[in-house]
Structure 1
Amino acid sequence: MVQATIAVVHEHGYAGTNTQTIARRAGVSRGAMLHHFGTRAALMAEVVRHVFDGEMAEYEATRLATGLGNRLEDWPKILWSVLGRPSGMAVLEILQATRSDAELAQSVIPMQEEVERSALAVMRSAFGGDETLARTVMRLMVWSVRGLSIAERYLPHREENDAAIALLSGLLGLAAPDGKMASLARIANTP
């Protein structure tokens, strides 16, 4: 059902997604789907978790296979290759919908906070840095890439978006030539 939900949200946006369409896409009854997840909001929270878990596994597989990901400057490129996919765009749609859907926000925001804590722990383990600095750098990378993913979807200019990712990577490389978080501490304005 999670894959069906991702496909429907990606195709129709969050506002155009309903449990009946998801159930039909998944090949199950709406009742069976709601029995398993309880509410549409709970299903959306599970989508956020499922996508994050898949992305983390992919990032690690990429790092092990290619070595890409061992330096901070690698991450904008890695994120760019993953977050603009249908699953990443579906999560972005879900996150944006929390602004106007209180039930969704109640289910999804705690899941997103858990996802961020997990990613932060991995990032700090790999690159050091205190929690505040690591969160700042992670958000800069993730949300810059998410924003460019939106631009790519609605204002597709692949060369310019690729250049923006390369620039962000380059700036991180200049700011942290050793590829570690501590180098950024001197220029980051974090408490």
Structure 2
Amino acid sequence: MAATAPSRKRRTQAERTAETREALLDATIRLLYRNGYSGTSTEAIAEEAGVSRGALHHHFGTRAQLMADVIGTVYDRERLAYEEIATETGRGTHLSDWPEMLWEVLSRPSGLAVLEILQASRSDTELATLVTPMQVRVEQMSLEAIKQQFGSGDDAGLLAGIRLFVWAARGLSIAQVLAPDPEEMRRSIDFLKLLIDGAIRAGAIDSRGRPPLPSGN
């Protein structure tokens, strides 16, 4: 008797919905990276994802809402990527680990896709209304994660440091696309790491980025 193939489990409606949303988000990221914001229309996204425009609007409502959800999705993926790097390499416990870690994650196509959305929000009121509070939440979540990693401190100072590191890596990710030799950008990341190590050796900050305690404490 011939063996019968095992029956394939039928997907639930929730699973189909999640898969469609994921396909649309991934398609949007690919198109933003390849074509920029202006070249990422809802028609192109639906075609790239292999779904109808009606399905796109059903899941996200508007193009602006889809773009805002891309930012949230990319942030969640980036957070997991940092955790994976830390687990696999043991990096992340010292401040000087972070320029390279940020570069590894933010220079990916998804990081450039986010930059396309943020830039477009400057002249798109509907998009800015959705993206601006989301960007604030992302920074706040990053701040809380850093405080858990390195301990509490002056929130304004910590946030200033986060912005410096993140936007240095984001800016270099754009330069990487334009540079004749993309590897030159990694030298800039290495230079930032050297600056941090120098500040630590000079006693300006400790290995967690905190200024030294006043004498007598």
- Per the normalisation by structure 2, the TM-score is 0.81
More helix by share: 1
In 1, distance between residues paired with 2:156 and 2:198? 21
> 1:8 maps to what in 2?
31
CA distance 1:57–1:17, shift in 2 (3 Å): same
2:165 alignment partner, one of 141, 159, 178: 141
Q: What do residues 58-108 of structure 1 show as CA deviations (whole Å, max 9, x unaligned)? A: 101111111111111111101111111111100011111111111111111
1:152 is aligned to 2:179: no
In 1, distance between residues paired with 2:35 and 2:213? 42
- Name stretches of at least 5 consecutive residues in structure 2 with no aligned partner: 1-23
Shift of 1:156: 3.8
- Check the 8 A contact 2:93/2:208 in 1, yes or no: no
In 2, distance between residues paired with 1:63 and 1:124? 16
- Name stretches of at least 5 consecutive residues in structure 1 with no aligned partner: 187-191
1:118 is aligned to 2:141: yes
Q: Which has the higher contact order (CA 8 A, sep 6+)?
A: 1
CA distance 1:12–1:61, shift in 2 (3 Å): same
1:87 is aligned to 2:110: yes
- Check the 8 A contact 2:176/2:183 in 1, yes or no: no
Shift of 1:175: 2.0
Q: What do residues 13-59 of structure 1 show as CA deviations (whole Å, max 9, x unaligned)? A: 00111001001111111111111111101100110000010010010
Q: Which moved more, 1:4-13 or 1:160-169?
A: 160-169
* Count of residues in correspondence between the two structures: 186
In 1, distance between residues paired with 2:137 and 2:212? 25
- Check the 8 A contact 1:6/1:90 in 2, yes or no: yes
- Per the normalisation by structure 1, the TM-score is 0.92
In 2, distance between residues paired with 1:115 and 1:156? 32
> 2:51 maps to what in 1?
28
Query: Cα RMSD (Å) of the superposition?
Result: 1.6
> 1:182 maps to what in 2?
210
CA distance 1:131–1:18, shift in 2 (3 Å): same
Of structures 1 and 2, the larger Rg is shown by 2
CA distance 1:156–1:81, shift in 2 (3 Å): farther
Q: Which amino acid aligns with 1:183?
A: P
- Check the 8 A contact 2:60/2:66 in 1, yes or no: yes
Q: Which amino acid aligns with 1:165?
A: I
* Greater than 3 Å deviation, 4+ residue runs: none
Identity in percent: 49
CA distance 1:105–1:78, shift in 2 (3 Å): same
In 2, distance between residues paired with 1:73 and 1:181? 9
